[in-house]
Amino acid sequence: METVIHKLCRGVLGAAIALAVFIAAGAVYAWEAHGAVIAGAHSVSAPAVWPIAARAQQSARIPRIGLLMGYAESDPTAQPFVAAFVQGLQQLGWTDGRNIRIVYRWAVADVNQIQKFAKELVEIQPDVILANSTPVTAALHQKTGSIPIVFATVSDPVGAGFVNNLAHPGGNVTGFMIFEYSMGGKWLELLKQIVPRLTRVAVLRDSVNPAGIAQFGAIRATGSSLGIDVSPIDVRNAIEIEHNIAAFARTADGGLIMTGSAMEGHRDLMIGLAAKYKLPAVYISRQEAAAGGLISYGPNTLDQFRSAAGYVNRILRGEKPGDLPVQVPTKFELVINLKTAKALGLTIPQPLLATADEVIE
């Protein structure tokens, strides 16, 4: 009996020991496996996890858009342009303060200020910069060859050295042309239609803008065929502008062509001087005709800024400015202000009125 009992106890004890060993081994295995998982989380998986975290951090960064305008912030001309650009961005899903940040700089059409603020914007390192004009684009282009720049109203980006050609800009600059030089001849023809006795025209231009010089050449060539003497008035400051227009007005049968580069920062002054000295004048933008100018002929500049928002959107989403062709306007608006015509004692020919896109009465 003792032997049987002894054997039975020894069998039970052996089974218990075996079970304990099995449990202990399982615990060790589980611990080691757990340790391997923990170690793997820190060593093997870390390189794979880090880029994801980095990308998440990068995606959380709000893109920044620099905006440099050659106007005073209070200039009523500039505000609609900026509003059109911001509206264009919103239509494409970008809202300032939510998923983008727009950094504004206003340069008051002063060369020194344009240079100063161009430097400031480049140092901020935005993702893309919007420029409104040739002088502004030139200043930015001098400061950076890497930050994308989109211009809204430039007349000759190839001649200015901003792009290699219109179809394939090739660098960090692209955008929208405001006109071709041949349009200057159209301005002169419009003035002649309104004032058949016209024999003299002064072209107000920005003398430091290469486009203004080339544009003047095109206008003068048309003047020769129409029997009109064309002379330049270089725009530097308000005192010189008033002095030169007053001097030009002393002789009869004269008119003015107000180029886009000359108007920046001086719109109200120039429109007022044309009215004061009873000089018929043609402008490039509807905004000038609406503000009291006699006639305007040119592209819809508000549309230019909305279109510029489209290029900014494409750049923010990964496209390169050098791959985006420079766009040339295909539609031009003729706006006539009959109230101003009456004040100048002019009668607008009926055929010209019939072709106008807008008549302001």
Q: Hey, what are 172's tokens?
A: 């960090």
Distance CA 171, CA 111 (A): 24
CB 82 within 8 A of CB 105: no
Domains of the chain (ranges; CATH) run 61-178+302-323 (3.40.50.2300), 183-298+331-360 (3.40.50.2300)
Distance CA 138, CA 133 (A): 9
| Residues present in the chain in total | 361
Residue 244 to residues 198, 202, 303, 350, 352, Cα–Cα distance (Å): 19, 10, 33, 33, 30
Distance CA 212, CA 58 (A): 43
Per-residue pLDDT at 61: 84
Q: Hey, what are 21's tokens?
A: 């060993």
For the chain, list residues with pLDDT below 50.
1-9, 12-59
Per-residue pLDDT at 273: 96
Distance CA 269, CA 265 (A): 9
The per-residue pLDDT for range 149-177, each reduced to its tens digit, is: 999 999 889 988 999 999 999 999 999 99
Q: In what order do the strands lie in the sheet with 101-106?
A: 101-106, 64-69, 128-131, 149-154, 173-177
> Rounded to two decimals, what is the model's pTM?
0.77
CB 68 within 8 A of CB 114: yes
Per-residue pLDDT at 206: 77
Count how many Cα atoms sit within 13 Å of the Cα of residue 202 in the half-sphere of its side chain: 23
